[in-house]
Amino acid sequence: MASRARNPSLASLILLSLLAVASAKVFFEEKFEDGWEKRWVKSDWKKDENLAGEWNYTSGKWNGNADDKGIQTSEDYRFYAISAEFPEFSNKDKTLVFQFSVKHEQKLDCGGGYIKLLSGDVDQKKFGGDTTYSIMFGPDICGYSTKKVHAILHYNEANNLIKKDVPCETDQLTHVYTFIIRPDATYSILIDNVEKQTGSLYSDWDLLPPKKIKDPEAKKPEDWDDKEFIPDPEDKKPEGYDDIPKEISDPEAKKPEDWDDEEDGEWTAPTIPNPEYKGEWSPKKIKNPNYKGKWKAPLIDNPKFTDDPDLYVFPNLKYVGIELWQVKSGTLFDNIVITDEPEHAKQLAEDTWGKHKDAEKAAFEEAEKLQQAEESKDEPADSDAEDDEDDAEEDSDAESKLEEAEEAREDAAECCYAELCLLALMS
């Protein structure tokens, strides 16, 4: 008896995927296994000011695999800068895939989780916020207003921020961020192997002037009718419509018993809105048979536009660097890859984050339960307080509110500082 053949389309897709992974060119891959310190250089940036933070080598407080470690910021109110070198390459005629995982264990409310790609020669011991980069990519969180993925491209001596909004993840679990730039100048941004944004370098960044502009000489024709609706010329005002008063005497009002006409004057009932009154009459609206739509100036070629077929190209990529300011530490980076094959990056994500995400979530939920149990133990027991103790509690409440207000002020200042740091990165 003949056996059923497998779905040829599915088999072909699997085969193509395996071939793509096998043929991928991997320019850099870091899983932070043994010997990672030899590949990375810690910068001395901010060291003289005693503001340089230290990195911990860890799998974090909760994880799905204790052996899968990365590097984590460990000190609050510190700058962090670390980089690794790889053989210089150009992505000309190649797809560029840049991917990493990041976890904010500290419940980040103000700080970044992005990574940079740098070109040319860089003094890694001096790598810092002023170092020129080619690409900056990853999540950024600051208060309620900023919770997005940054994708900044350096072009023509300027840092250009993506114009589309790409929300980032805000929980305390590991997430994978992927940036793909293709030779046709299209791009995709993925989170956890799911595409969140896609488009063109031409339209979604201000790298070049627009190809087309509105014709500045064009004028709307005088006979152009842009009124979508017009009064119905056949609609007539009903007879007696204008005789309906706006207000009428209140039929339920009664003359007060103590009303004296001689002293108080003739009594008149107060008025109320007339339920029959429908406002000033106007004819109903109908579709305008001559409506031509909203007039728009025609587009013409922009004389200032000059195409750049290498718009997507970064010719001298040579370093990957992490440079951050953190108000609260606890951000953990892992599984960084730079390749020319999206399937390779996807498979790496599945083999690391994908395998362990459920176990990590369970570990996090267990840690949350333990923390809540500890906090409930620390809560003071109820007691029969005397009146003089109530006064002391009121003083304590006032002090607590003052401390909360001070903390809120500091948090606001910290968020402002983080925003200023981002502006500096863009400059």
What DSSP assignment string belongs to 306-333?
Answer: ---TTTT--TTEEEEEEEEEESS--EEE
Could you give the angle at which helices 8-23 and 342-349 cross, rounded to 10 degrees?
100
Backbone angles phi, psi at 143, to 5 degrees: 65, -145
> Which residues, 6 or more positions from 289, have their beta carbon under 8 angstroms from its beta carbon?
none
Per-residue pLDDT of the chain (427 residues; tens, 9 = 90+): 444 445 556 555 445 555 555 678 999 999 999 999 999 999 999 999 999 999 999 999 999 999 999 999 999 999 999 999 999 999 999 999 999 999 999 988 888 899 999 999 999 999 999 999 999 999 998 877 889 999 999 999 999 999 999 999 999 999 999 999 999 999 999 999 999 999 999 999 999 999 999 999 999 999 999 999 999 999 999 999 888 999 999 998 998 988 888 888 988 899 999 998 989 999 999 999 999 999 999 999 999 999 999 999 999 999 999 999 999 999 999 999 999 999 999 999 999 999 999 999 999 999 999 988 888 877 765 555 445 555 555 555 545 544 554 554 455 444 444 444 454 445 5
3-state SS, residue 170? coil
Q: How far apart are CA 269 and CA 271, in angstroms?
A: 6
Q: Which of 35, 34, 32, 55 is nearest to 43 (CA)?
A: 55
3-state SS, residue 131? coil
> Which residues, 6 or more positions from 36, have their beta carbon under 8 angstroms from its beta carbon?
30, 57, 71
User: In the prediction, which pLDDT does 220 show?
Assistant: 94
**What b/e sequence results for 117-140 when a residue is b if at least 16 CB atoms lie within 10 Å of its CB, and e otherwise?**
bbbeebebeebbeebebbbbbbbb
Q: How far apart are CA 360 and CA 379, in angstroms?
A: 29
Q: How far apart are CA 106 and CA 422, in angstroms?
A: 20
Q: How far apart are CA 279 and CA 284, in angstroms?
A: 14
User: In the prediction, which pLDDT does 374 show?
Assistant: 82
> Which residues, 6 or more positions from 216, have their beta carbon under 8 angstroms from its beta carbon?
297
Strand partners, 155: 158
Contact yes or no for 44/54 (Cβ under 8 A)? no
DSSP H helices in 258-316 = 261-264
Q: Which of 20, 79, 71, 166 is nearest to 417 (CA)?
A: 79
Q: Is 388 exposed, middle or buried (0-12, 13-18, 19+ CB in 10 A)?
A: exposed
CB atoms within 10 A of CB 395: 10
pTM: 0.74
User: In the prediction, which pLDDT does 325 show?
Assistant: 92
User: In the prediction, which pLDDT does 107 show?
Assistant: 86
User: In the prediction, which pLDDT does 381 show?
Assistant: 59
User: In the prediction, which pLDDT does 412 show?
Assistant: 45
Tokens 């900044």 label which residue?
152
Contact yes or no for 158/136 (Cβ under 8 A)? no
